[in-house]
């Protein structure tokens, strides 16, 4: 029987970081589930808290965190309550991560082979070096790298940006993680290479049984690759649901505005800027977080920020007027 419970269940995740001007509210009570074997796309304007959410899942938090509340249940275990050494053992093993710039994760002094063998033997200590090398080579083939034997001997700077990202993907998947976090993994690449990497993700997902969180500015890309979508705004989630349905008929005015701008801009599905300012992270939530930019703001929206509420099968939106303005 397949397990229908979510792999990750985040409840009321709240994160403040202290700044000279007071606490910045970076995550404002996040409720989110990541389904088993699903790809969850996380979109939102710059500063909406996407990367902080990914860091919280790895419990790699900035040093100036002044408040951290809520729960991140991973297969039943609350990651926020896990002793530091156990969390360390999970990182890069049960939860792997791919960054926008692969050089942040690759040591320039070590070859690709050294990186890959180290990661593999940490995960599978029973592997000999020779076995780990063979497995690494096979993994490089899977991610479309030609001459893998030679590439294992290369240093990171000897590879192109696209190839380095393929190496990162190979490393991340070689440990067979339950969850792969990909934070804008194609943003630093040119459009052609970006398309190749997205096609690679799409192909690899057939073999990969874990879940993926794919953070992106690119709605078109998320639509192509992901099963589910989570739209973030000002440190809060404003809408979640199956990606095709959310994009076909959004139930939150912010998602609607993003889609409308995108159509106007015709910019290949990149997140367009909608008029008005993003919320100030220093301000307290005393009204709907989107009220100042929303075309449908009414008095009731100024009373409080609404929680996510069901708006259909598997769908949620944080808009008190959703049924009225986006039926
Ligand atoms: N350690 C910190 N101290 C103070 N403010 C922070 C800290 N880390 C992040 N922030 C602020 O929190 C907000 C969310 O940042 P985050 O990087 O998570 O957003 P993002 O959606 O990933 O943005 P981008 O798309 O630009 O990467 C931003 O306003 C950022 O300036």
Question: Is residue 177 lining ligand 1, measured as CB closer than 6 Å?
Answer: no
Mean pLDDT by 10 residues, the chain (327 residues): 84 97 96 96 93 95 95 95 92 90 86 95 94 95 93 94 92 93 87 86 87 90 93 97 96 91 56 75 94 93 95 95 89
Instruction: Report the atom number in ligand 1 closest to the C-alpha of 54.
Output: 18
Cα–Cα distance measured from residue 62 to residue 111, given in angstroms and rounded to the nearest whole number: 29
Q: Which of 48, 273, 283 to probe ligand 1 with, by most ligand atoms within 8 A of CB?
A: 48
Q: Is the CB of 305 under 6 A from ligand 1?
A: no
Cα 142–148–151 angle (5° rounding)? 125
Q: Is 62 in the pocket of ligand 1 (CB under 6 A)?
A: yes
Distance (Å, whole) CA 175 – CA 199: 21
Query: What span, in angstroms and rounded, lies between the C-alpha atoms of 52 and 17?
Result: 11
Beta bridge mates, 72: 10
| Complex confidence, ipTM | 0.97
Residue 198's pLDDT is what?
87
pLDDT for 60 equals 92
CB of 23 sitting under 6 A from ligand 1: no
Index of the ligand 1 atom closest to the CA of residue 19 = 4
Grouping H, G, I as helix, E, B as strand and the rest as coil, residue 13 is strand
Take atom 1 of ligand 1 and give the residue whose Cα is closest: 62
Q: How far apart are CA 257 and CA 184, in angstroms?
A: 22
């Amino acid at each position: 029987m397949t397990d229908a419970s979510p792999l990750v269940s985040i409840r009321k995740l709240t994160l403040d970081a202290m700044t000279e001007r007071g606490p910045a509210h970076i995550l404002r009570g996040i409720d989110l589930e990541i389904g088993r074997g699903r790809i969850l796309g996380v979109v939102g304007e710059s500063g909406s808290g996407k990367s902080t959410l990914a860091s919280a899942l790895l419990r790699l938090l900035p040093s100036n965190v002044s408040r951290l509340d809520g729960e991140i249940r991973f297969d039943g275990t609350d990651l926020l309550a896990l002793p530091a050494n156990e969390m360390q053992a999970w990182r890069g093993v049960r939860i792997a991560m791919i960054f926008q710039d692969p050089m942040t994760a690759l040591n320039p002094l070590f070859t690709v082979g050294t990186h890959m063998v180290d990661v593999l033997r940490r995960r599978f200590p029973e592997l000999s070096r020779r076995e780990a090398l063979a497995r690494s080579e096979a993994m490089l083939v899977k991610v479309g790298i030609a001459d893998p034997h030679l590439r294992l001997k290369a240093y990171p700077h000897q590879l192109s940006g696209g190839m380095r990202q393929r190496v990162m993907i190979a490393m991340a998947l070689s440990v067979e993680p339950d969850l792969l976090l990909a934070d804008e993994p194609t943003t630093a690449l040119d459009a052609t290479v970006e398309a190749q990497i997205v096609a690679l993700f799409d192909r690899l997902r057939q073999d990969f049984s874990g879940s993926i969180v794919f953070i992106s500015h690119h709605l078109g890309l998320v639509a192509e690759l992901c099963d589910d979508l989570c739209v973030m705004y000002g440190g809060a989630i404003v809408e979640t649901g199956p990606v095709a349905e959310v994009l076909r008929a959004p139930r939150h005015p912010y998602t609607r505005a993003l889609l409308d701008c995108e159509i106007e801009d015709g910019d290949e599905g990149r997140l367009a800027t909608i008029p008005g300012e993003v919320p100030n992270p220093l301000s307290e939530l005393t009204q709907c977080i989107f009220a100042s930019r929303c075309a449908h703001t009414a008095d009731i929206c100024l009373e409080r920020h609404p929680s996510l509420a069901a708006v259909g099968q598997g769908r949620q939106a944080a808009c008190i007027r959703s049924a009225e303005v986006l039926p």
